């Protein structure tokens, strides 16, 4: 269960959040708990949860190792700050910052090289869904952003299906709609990386909340959630992490 905090929370607020979270989820063993603070809070959050069952990730990275790339952060720097995961190709990055499948692919390789697990986001817009091009769009995104990986890299990464029309809108995909696309993603992935498709985890994202999480997680190809809004309050994020106890 991954909490994407987007551009929210100061360093102090981020640390205070995980301080409360770590006690509440200390008994959780069968769910990986991940938080994605802003770059500048990652290290402080990591120091608060080091060695515990909460892992820290970043929301983006740049593919070069170092150099004259003003404003960017490399995979090895994220590693140094304590990040073990990184979100790549989130729809907000595609929409506002010109992220495309080709750059997503470079970032996936850079993260994998540095032993950081990429969570690669794909998803169709409302227009694409209405025009019945959802599967075509997803297929292209999966194929292009996840091309040329080793079998090992391919089985370690995580894919997140996030229909753009469901992000931050309160409109969740129905469990059936989500399952249909998740199964399709696994099928495409099996054509690319035969042995990795069963192992790859596919998260659903888009208005996941404590009251809809169980139904979504019951679907056979949904392996977890990538949560924005409902991950910002510690009480609701705890409920999401412990959804299986509801």
Choose which of 95, 168, 218, 246 interacts with ligand PGA (CB under 6 A). Answer: 168
The string of DSSP letters for 53-100 reads SEEEEES--BSSSSSS-TT--BHHHHHHHTEEEEEES-HHHHHHH---
Residue 73 · residue 58 · CB < 8 Å: yes
123 binds ligand PGA (CB under 6 A): no
Taking CB under 6 A as the rule, which mask of x and - marks residues 183-222 in contact with ligand PGA? ----------------------xxxx--------------
Query: What's the gap between Cα 185 and its chain centre?
Result: 15
Q: With respect to ligand PGA, which residue has the nearer C-beta, 36 or 63?
A: 36
Cα–chain-centroid distance for residue 19?
Answer: 22
Q: Is 4 in the site for ligand PGA (CB under 6 A)?
A: yes
Residue 162 is a binding residue for ligand PGA (CB under 6 A): yes
User: In this structure, are residues 128 and 87 in contact, taking their beta carbons and an 8 Å threshold?
Assistant: no
CA distance 213 to 78: 30
Residue number with CB closer to ligand PGA (196 or 230): 230
Query: Is 19 an active-site residue?
Result: no
Q: How far is the CB of 205 from ligand PGA (least distance, A)?
A: 4
35 and 231 Cβ atoms separated by less than 8 Å: yes
Number of other CB atoms surrounding residue 194 within 10 Å:
11
Beta bridge partners of 34: 2, 55
- State in angstroms the smallest separation of the CB of 195 from ligand PGA: 28
Spatial distance between the Cα atoms of 177 and 12, rounded to a whole number of angstroms: 39
Residue with smaller CB distance to ligand PGA, 77 or 173: 173
Question: With contacts defined by CB under 6 A, how many residues of the chain interact with ligand PGA?
Answer: 13
- 178 near 216, Cβ under 8 Å? yes
Q: Known catalytic residue: 90?
A: yes
Sign of CA dihedral 179, 184, 185, 191: positive
Task: Give just the sign of the alpha carbon dihedral 219, 221, 226, 229.
Answer: negative
Select the span of 45-53, 65-73, 108-116, 224-232 touching ligand PGA (CB under 6 A). 224-232
CB closer to ligand PGA out of 124 and 193:
124
Per the residue annotation, which of 92, 124, 153, 162 is the catalytic one? 162
In the set 44, 164, 229, 238, which binds ligand PGA (CB under 6 A)? 229
Active-site hit among 48, 90, 92, 124:
90
Tell me the window of 76-84, 94-102, 112-120, 161-169 that interacts with ligand PGA (CB under 6 A).
161-169
Q: Which is nearer to ligand PGA, 82 or 205 (CB)?
A: 205
Contact residues: ligand PGA, CB under 6 A:
4, 162, 167-168, 205-208, 226-230
Active site residues: 90, 162
């Amino acid at each position: 269960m991954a909490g994407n905090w987007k551009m929210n929370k100061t360093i102090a607020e981020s640390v205070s959040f995980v301080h409360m979270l770590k006690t509440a989820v200390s008994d959780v063993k069968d769910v990986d708990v991940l938080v994605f603070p802003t770059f500048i809070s990652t290290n402080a959050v990591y120091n608060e949860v080091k060695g515990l069952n909460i892992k820290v990730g970043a929301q983006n990275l740049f593919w070069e190792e170092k150099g004259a790339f003003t404003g960017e952060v490399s995979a090895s720097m994220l590693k140094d700050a304590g990040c073990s995961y990184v979100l790549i190709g989130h729809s907000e990055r595609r929409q506002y910052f010109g992220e495309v499948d080709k750059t997503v692919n470079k970032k996936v390789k850079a993260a994998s090289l540095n032993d950081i697990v990429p969570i690669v986001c794909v998803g169709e817009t409302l227009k694409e869904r209405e025009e019945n091009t959802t599967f075509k769009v997803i297929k292209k995104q999966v194929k292009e952003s996840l091309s040329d990986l080793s079998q090992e890299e391919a089985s370690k990464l995580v894919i997140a299906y996030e229909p753009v029309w469901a992000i931050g809108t309160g409109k969740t995909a129905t469990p059936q709609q989500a399952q249909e696309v998740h199964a399709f993603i696994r099928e495409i992935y099996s054509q690319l990386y035969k042995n990795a498709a069963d192992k790859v985890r596919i998260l659903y994202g888009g208005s996941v909340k404590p009251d809809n999480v169980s139904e979504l997680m019951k679907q056979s190809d949904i392996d977890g959630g990538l949560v924005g809004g409902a991950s910002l309050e510690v009480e609701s994020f705890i409920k999401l992490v412990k959804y299986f106890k509801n």
